[in-house]
């Protein structure tokens, strides 16, 4: 299998240096999935997010929701036939926590939630639909918060929802809250509630109000926001009417920082955006269900736009920058440092495509390595399920590389000597066992690649290795690697992800 753009000479074995004295913590929460299928996935998942368009008009009192433009703008029982208050959330939260995963729950902030489960198509067919087919949704409830909630008062209160979650959750894993989902697209996705997209001023006021409500009843829980859908969302809030050339994230961070100073309480803990790459190859976007050679080649290189100051992808985003590198993670981290220091950073939806193509395994593994290296706090793949065997294999190269629960370490190490176009190498120690080192070596080329890994400050005696290749992904193939004190040698198969575990 050869992708025309990826056959590079690998006759000489590059020496890659891993420095065990240069250590940076890796957040455990980057190995996340949205709405995971726990029957087919689960051993390595550390974070589960209950998100998506359906949550914007989710009525926690009855589990009714509105599909938005995903399906005829109809109210129905898609999220749960049961009328037990919170049934949908408790049935998400319970298995997530039982599998040892932290959880992010979405708090609807758009102002209206579905009032019924009629499933009769567009709610706009009903006269006065906004008052008939929806209920007002408020941040704060006046008076006492109760469970079960009052379902006869024609109102739904989100602080009451959060207070209920705080009572039912397990203390084994963290439970956090997201300020709705992709508000920069509400004017399209949820136009029955928001006929036009919110402005900067509207969404900032909205997020401050609802964050205050959450913090009042769950002061220790992290709040994520604003869950922008993508580049135009977090740059210009989808050309909001009051953008006036301002960068949205800069404006948003400044405003939330000011709200903290005014209220003497941090309201936003984690800046959250979504990232679906726009990179293209063979005139096809890499996230499409297409694995043309050029598309696969572009997918393998696309993770470089997360960090690489020398890489310019083929996309309208790069074009909008004057055909310059995107450098997404350093770019946003710099904005955080300048406008709201101390705020964590998350990407709670992403997907690079290639669910059943080796390029999907390579890209997914590379992305997780980059997330760890660049200090991302949390990340959740959107759409990953047991049918995406290749993408899942790339995920498991870090999260469950031997299929018996072994995972990549949590103390990232400095690595030098790689060639970003041809290979990536990530290494880590284990905070609970400093005699253990894990390494993920990715060959992005169509030929075998000899690698020499020079270890500084770590002397290994034993090595075991597992390789994900185009013909070994459900169960990774045992790979041949040799270790002699401070030097590891291996030949990485074409288009492969190899995880090594070293021990003293």
Over residues 424-480, the pLDDT tens digits come to: 999 999 999 999 999 999 999 999 999 999 999 999 999 999 999 999 888 888 889
Query: What would the 3-class secondary structure string for 348-365 be?
Result: EEECCCCCCCHHHHHHHH
End-to-end CA distance of the chain: 37
pLDDT single digits (tens) 243-283? 999 999 999 999 999 999 999 999 999 999 999 999 999 99
CA distance 63 to 92: 12
- Residues with Cβ within 8 Å of residue 293, at least 6 apart in sequence: 3, 4, 5, 281, 282
Which DSSP helix (H) or strand (E) runs through 207? helix 200-217
CB 59 within 8 A of CB 156: yes
DSSP letter at 133 equals T
Phi, psi of 236 (to 5 degrees): -130, 10
Global pTM reads: 0.96
Q: Are 209 and 215 in contact (CB under 8 A)?
A: no
Q: Which H or E element spans position 396?
A: helix 389-399
Asked, as a colleague might, if the bond just before 226 is cis with ω within 30 of 0, I would say yes
Distance CA 386, CA 256 (A): 39
- Average pLDDT on 185-198 reads 97
Tally of CB atoms within 10 A around 278: 21
Reported as a single tens digit per residue, the pLDDT across 288-314 is 989 999 999 999 999 999 999 999 999
Please state, in angstroms and rounded to a whole number, the distance separating the CA atoms of residues 104 and 100: 13
pLDDT digits (tens, 9 = 90+) for 393-419: 999 999 999 999 999 999 999 999 999
Angle at 407 between CA 405 and CA 413, to 5 degrees: 170
| Over residues 72-92, mean pLDDT | 98
State the pLDDT at residue 478: 87
Report yes or no: 58 and 407 within 8 Å, Cβ to Cβ.
Answer: no
pLDDT at 485: 87
φ and ψ at residue 446, rounded to 5 degrees: -90, 15
Could you read off the pLDDT of 118-131 as tens digits, one per residue? 999 999 999 999 99
- What is the reported pLDDT for 333? 98
**Beta-sheet pairing, 270-275 with 223-228:** parallel
Instruction: Return the SS3 of 140.
Output: coil
Q: Please give the mean pLDDT across all residues of the chain.
A: 96
Catalytic residue set: 182
Helix (H, G, I), strand (E, B) or coil at 270: strand
In this structure, are residues 167 and 150 in contact, taking their beta carbons and an 8 Å threshold?
no
Which tokens sit at 116? 């019924």
Q: Please tell me the distance from the alpha carbon of residue 439 to that of residue 412, in angstroms, as a whole number.
A: 10
- Look at the domain 30-278+315-350 and name its fold: TIM Barrel (3.20.20)
What pLDDT is attached to residue 475? 85
Reading the block at residue 298, the tokens are 């572009």
Enter the tokens of residue 500: 């090594």
Q: pLDDT tens digits for 482-498? A: 999 899 999 999 999 99
Mean pLDDT is lowest, of 56-70, 126-140, 153-167, 475-489, for: 475-489
For residue 352, pLDDT beyond 60 = yes
Number of neighbours of residue 381 by Cβ within 10 angstroms: 28
Give 60's contacts (C-beta < 8 A, 6+ positions apart): 85, 86, 88, 89, 113, 149, 156, 161, 164
* CA dihedral sign of residues 169, 209, 328, 354: positive
Evaluate whether 162 touches 156 at the Cβ level (below 8 Å). Answer: no
Higher-confidence residue: 41 or 20?
Answer: 20
Asked which of 1-5, 28-32, 168-172, 359-363 is least confident by mean pLDDT, the reply is 1-5
The CA radius of gyration of the chain, in Å to the nearest whole number, is 23
Residue 6's pLDDT is: 47
* Contact (Cβ atoms closer than 8 angstroms) between residue 222 and residue 177: yes
């Amino acid at each position: 299998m050869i992708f025309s753009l990826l056959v590079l000479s690998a006759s000489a074995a590059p020496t890659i240096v891993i420095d065990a004295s240069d250590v940076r913590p890796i957040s455990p929460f980057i190995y996340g999935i949205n709405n995971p299928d726990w029957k087919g996935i689960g051993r390595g998942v550390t974070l589960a997010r209950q998100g998506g368009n359906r949550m914007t008009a989710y009525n926690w009192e009855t589990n009714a929701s509105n599909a938005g433009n995903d399906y005829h703008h109809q109210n129905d029982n898609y999220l749960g036939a049961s009328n037990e208050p919170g049934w949908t959330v408790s049935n998400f939260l319970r298995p997530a926590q039982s599998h040892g995963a932290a959880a992010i729950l979405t708090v609807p902030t758009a102002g209206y939630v579905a009032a019924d489960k009629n499933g009769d198509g567009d709610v706009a067919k009903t006269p006065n639909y906004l008052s008939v087919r929806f209920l007002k949704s408020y941040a704060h409830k006046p008076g006492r918060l109760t469970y079960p909630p009052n379902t006869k008062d024609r109102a739904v209160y989100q602080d009451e929802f959060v207070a209920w979650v705080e009572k039912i959750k397990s203390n084994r894993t963290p439970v956090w809250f997201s300020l709705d989902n992709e508000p920069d697209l509400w004017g399209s996705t949820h136009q029955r509630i928001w006929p036009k997209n919110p402005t900067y001023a509207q969404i900032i006021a909205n997020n401050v109000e609802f964050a205050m409500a959450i913090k009042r009843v769950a002061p220790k829980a992290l709040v994520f926001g604003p869950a922008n859908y993508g580049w135009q969302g977090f740059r210009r809030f989808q050309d909001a009417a009051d953008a006036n050339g301002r960068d949205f994230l800069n404006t948003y961070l400044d405003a939330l920082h000011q709200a903290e100073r005014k209220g003497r309480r941090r309201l936003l803990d984690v800046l959250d955006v979504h990232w679906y790459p726009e990179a293209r190859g063979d005139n096809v976007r890499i996230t499409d269900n297409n694995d043309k050679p050029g598309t696969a080649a572009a997918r393998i290189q696309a993770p470089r736009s997360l960090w690489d100051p020398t890489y310019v992808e083929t996309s309208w985003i790069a074009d909008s920058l004057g055909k310059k590198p995107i450098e997404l993670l350093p770019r946003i981290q710099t904005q955080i440092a300048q406008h709201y220091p101390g705020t964590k950073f998350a990407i709670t939806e992403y997907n690079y495509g290639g669910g059943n193509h080796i390029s999907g395994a390579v890209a997914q593994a590379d992305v997780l390595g980059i997330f760890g290296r660049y200090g991302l706090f949390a990340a959740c793949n959107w759409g990953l399920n047991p049918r995406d065997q290749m993408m899942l294999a790339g995920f498991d190269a870090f999260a469950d590389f031997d299929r018996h629960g072994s995972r990549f370490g949590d103390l990232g190490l400095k690595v030098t000597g790689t060639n970003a176009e041809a290979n990536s190498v990530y290494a880590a120690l284990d905070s609970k066992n400093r005699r253990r080192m894990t390494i993920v070596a990715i060959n992005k080329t169509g030929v075998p690649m000899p690698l020499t890994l020079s270890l500084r400050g770590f002397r290994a005696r034993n090595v075991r290795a597992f390789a994900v290749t185009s013909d070994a992904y459900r169960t990774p193939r045992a790979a041949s690697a040799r270790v002699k004190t401070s030097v590891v040698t291996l030949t990485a198969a074409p288009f492969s992800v190899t995880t090594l575990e070293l021990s003293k």
